[in-house]
A and B are shown apart, each in its own frame.
Chain A
Amino acid sequence: MAEFSTSVKDQSGVSVVYLTGYLDAHTAPMLESNFSDLISGGKFKIVVNFKDLVYISSAGLGVFMAFIEKIRENAGDIKLTTMNDKVYNIFDLLGFPLLYEIYKTEDDAIKKFQE
């Protein structure tokens, strides 16, 4: 079955969202609700950790697109980190690295917000 889960942790004022499993059209609404909750709680500095994400389809990529402008309008950003090659490849095919900052480690992404 398509297993997907998320967890959110606060790291010195930055919300880190951890993704695990398969992000497709079925599971994308879970991530949407994470972003909605963060935004309504006034949290706009977001790092998404992809370490345990094994699969993403365009429905999953769409979630990032749906919220990014609202977050940037509020002086925030969604920064991405620790993607495996397979997932990065899909982001890359679709030109997403033009729109999102992607970091090798979670620390690098968090530090970027603190500069």
Chain B
Amino acid sequence: MANNKSKIKEKKLVVKGRTENLARIRMFIQEIASSVGFKQESIDNMMLAVDEACTNIIKHAYKAYPDGEILIKIKYEDKKLIITIIDYGKSFAPDSIPEPDIQEYYKQHKVGGLGMYLMRTLMDDVEYISIPGKYNQVLLSKSLTSQN
């Protein structure tokens, strides 16, 4: 907890919507979340949640547009890390994604909606805002407590 900070200035990362950038995105989350004092287990969870959000963007929003940009902003205030992920691709309705059903996946030979489920499970809060034709935004947040 030596490097625990009460607030950090907003940090930004902009990358093209390609899977090769997922490692860089995870590293960005690792650096910032550890600098404010989260334990590694929580950082791992946040990295996975952000990876899932970005993978969804790459596979769906930017399916036909690999040069589309993903903007990731992170801020930390009031003991809460807030990660905002923005893309300018195809919008989607998160409520249309059903809860994962493992038996159904088995029948269909594929998985869908697992990423969303993981995001909701691993973060304290997940919020979507989609302005069709303009941008999509997903906001992931986690509070720093004595446990994490």
Contacts and interface: CB of A to CB of B under 8 A. Distances in A.
Nearest to B102: A95
Interface residues of A, number: 26
B124 to A, nearest CB: 16
A98 B102 contact: yes
B121 A24 contact: no
A57 B106 contact: no
A58 B109 contact: no
Given A57-B52, A66-B109, A69-B109, A24 B114 contact: no
B115 interface: yes
Task: Name B's interface SS.
Answer: helix
B121 A93 contact: yes
Task: Name A's interface SS.
Answer: helix
Nearest to A66: B109
23 contacts: A1-B23, A1-B24, A2-B22, A22-B23, A24-B51, A25-B19, A25-B22, A25-B51, A25-B58, A55-B48, A57-B115, A57-B118, A58-B55, A58-B111, A58-B115, A62-B110, A66-B109, A66-B110, A69-B106, A86-B44, A90-B48, A94-B100, A94-B114
Contact of A93 (B41, B59, B118): B118
B117 interface: yes
